[in-house]
Amino acid sequence: MPLFGTDGVRGLANGILTADLALTLAQATAVVLGQGRTADARRAAGKRLTAVVARDPRVSGEFLTAAVSAGLASSGVDVLDAGVLPTPALAFLIADRDADFGVMVSASHNPAPDNGIKIFARGGVKLPDIVEQRIEAAMAGPKLQPTGAGVGRIVRFADAEDRYVLHLLQSLPARLTGLHVVLDCAHGAASGVSPETFADAGAEVTVVGADPDGLNINDGVGSTHLASLAAAVVAAGADLGIAHDGDADRCLAVDASGRIVDGDQIMAILAVSMKERGLLADNTLVATVMSNLGLHRAMAEHGIRVEQTAVGDRYVLERMNEGGYSLGGEQSGHVIMSKYATTGDGLLTGLHLMAEMARTGCTLEGLASTMKVYPQVLVNVPGVDRTRVDDEGVQAAVAAASAELGDSGRVLLRPSGTEPLVRVMVEAASAEVAQAHADALAGVVRERLAL
């Protein structure tokens, strides 16, 4: 089974993800990412490679970050330890400091016992699959073992947070004066920097989920648990609420009435605004196959084309880079604004969402109404052969359901990348119709693809 998943290496901390593994992974990263003309030029000039390292506040991040830093320094890499910061902050700082690469220790929206290691290349971009495969292979090979003055140093990146906050504030087209926001920081990496940044941008800020103790990250709070945020917004009479996940690369929102505004709706709002201001490259939005049919309809009405990718923000970013596009993301709240970021950035997204409210004078409910959300039902079918979704009987059932739904719905089958499981997704004008078709298709998949 491959070590790298869809977003780095992730697993139970001190179970699958041990200090030994973290150290060896860091050493292999130094071998693979320490190659190339830029790295060779640094060495020729008598300079060591540099890596930025950061983490979210879960307790296991302390020993895992120490192991990563030790692995890099023992390989001759100088480490800038940025401490607890969001993943997008790390990505920005790699580019800002012209570092050779960076490592984020975080399991994102997962519970506290889990952790993960995400590796970013020069410029703050996620690694392509082929480079991850090279790093995994290098874990069993020879390592770099300089001695004496050749070993790396580990130093505190003292102004890391200040650089990131200034970058965010400089990106804003409007101040947030007069807007009241409730921020849910998921007891995660945004707990310090997000309230500070929104307040500096002019907003009135009420904070929940910003007391990390190393064990409470994502525990009933954050972008995967929006009920408490919705209640807090209504109780405070705020204009909106914004929720991050544990490493703050996501942003979901709730309006003043406590209604959820998901990543698709946020992308719709930003895409329309950017098109009006001449900032939406090629009038194109990049989204995954899981984005709601309503997003496609809304974008068509505004003359905006939607390019689709596989699920995963890394695939969205790859397509954005290929086409030179300026906006893309996922329904889950990973939104990428390529002018300002190389990955999903929950703080950046939330700031620009509020800036659009300030610019237009519209409520979040009013802005979100640009897109009608179609009921979407997802049924997981376990215990099946995920490699045979092109089965004739399955495809006939999909075609029949699609024909019956017509323009008012959509069907999608997604085989899991790691499990014997197929996901059946159906969108329709009503939840009842979507559920009926999803259940029927799940039955066909279960029967035709049974192991």
38 has pLDDT over 80: no
Task: Map residue 76 onto helix, strand or coil.
Answer: coil
Q: Percentage of residues in the chain with pLDDT exceeding 90?
A: 91
Average pLDDT over residues 67-95: 98
Q: Is 251 left (phi over 0), alpha (psi -120 to 50) or beta?
A: beta
pLDDT in the model for residue 416? 84
Q: pLDDT tens across 182-218, in order? A: 999 999 999 999 999 999 999 999 999 999 999 999 9
What the chain holds in terms of domains, given with CATH numbers, is 9-161 (3.40.120.10), 171-368 (3.40.120.10), 376-448 (3.30.310.50)
Among 126, 159, 127, 142, CA closest to 75: 142
42 has pLDDT over 80: no
Average pLDDT over residues 319-331: 96
Residue whose pair of structure tokens reads 């990718």 in the numeric block: 309
Tell me if the pTM is above 0.85: yes
Residue 168 pLDDT grade (very low, low, confident, very high; cuts 50, 70, 90): very high
d(CA 72, CA 331): 35
Average pLDDT over residues 261-288: 97
Distances (CA, A) of 295 to 141, 253, 317, 376: 47, 16, 19, 12
d(CA 443, CA 440): 5
Residue 5 pLDDT grade (very low, low, confident, very high; cuts 50, 70, 90): confident
Residue 237 pLDDT grade (very low, low, confident, very high; cuts 50, 70, 90): very high
96 has pLDDT over 90: yes
- Which is more confidently placed, 418 or 197? 197
Name the average pLDDT for the chain.
95
DSSP class of residue 149 equals G
Residue whose pair of structure tokens reads 């596009």 in the numeric block: 325
As to burial, measured by CB atoms within 10 angstroms (0-12 exposed, 13-18 middle, 19+ buried), residue 192 is middle
Residue 397 pLDDT grade (very low, low, confident, very high; cuts 50, 70, 90): very high
Residue 103 pLDDT grade (very low, low, confident, very high; cuts 50, 70, 90): very high
- Report H helices in 406-430: none
As to burial, measured by CB atoms within 10 angstroms (0-12 exposed, 13-18 middle, 19+ buried), residue 198 is buried
Phi, psi of 36 (to 5 degrees): 115, 170
Phi, psi of 85 (to 5 degrees): -150, 155
398 has pLDDT over 80: yes
Residues designated as active site:
108
Phi, psi of 25 (to 5 degrees): -60, -40
- DSSP, residue by residue, 355-412: HHHHHH---HHHHHTTSPPPPEEEEEEESB-GGGTT-HHHHHHHHHHHHHHGGG-EEE
pLDDT in the model for residue 50? 97
DSSP class of residue 128 equals P
pLDDT in the model for residue 35? 84
40 has pLDDT over 80: no
Query: DSSP E strands: which ranges in 192-237?
Result: 204-208
44 has pLDDT over 90: no
Residue 417 pLDDT grade (very low, low, confident, very high; cuts 50, 70, 90): confident
Average pLDDT over residues 328-345: 96
What's the farthest any 2 CA atoms get from each other in the chain?
A: 72
162 has pLDDT over 90: yes
DSSP class of residue 274 equals H
60 has pLDDT over 80: yes
pLDDT in the model for residue 140? 96
* Binding site per annotation, positions: 108, 245, 247, 249
Q: Which residues pair with 66 in a beta bridge?
A: none
37 has pLDDT over 80: no
Residue 92 pLDDT grade (very low, low, confident, very high; cuts 50, 70, 90): very high
* Binding site per annotation, positions for Mg(2+): 108, 245, 247, 249
227 has pLDDT over 80: yes
Q: Are 84 and 339 in contact (CB under 8 A)?
A: no
Average pLDDT over residues 385-406: 93
Average pLDDT over residues 446-451: 92
pLDDT in the model for residue 173? 94
d(CA 160, CA 235): 35
Among 42, 32, 125, 126, CA closest to 71: 32
Average pLDDT over residues 247-262: 97
Task: Map residue 441 onto helix, strand or coil.
Answer: helix
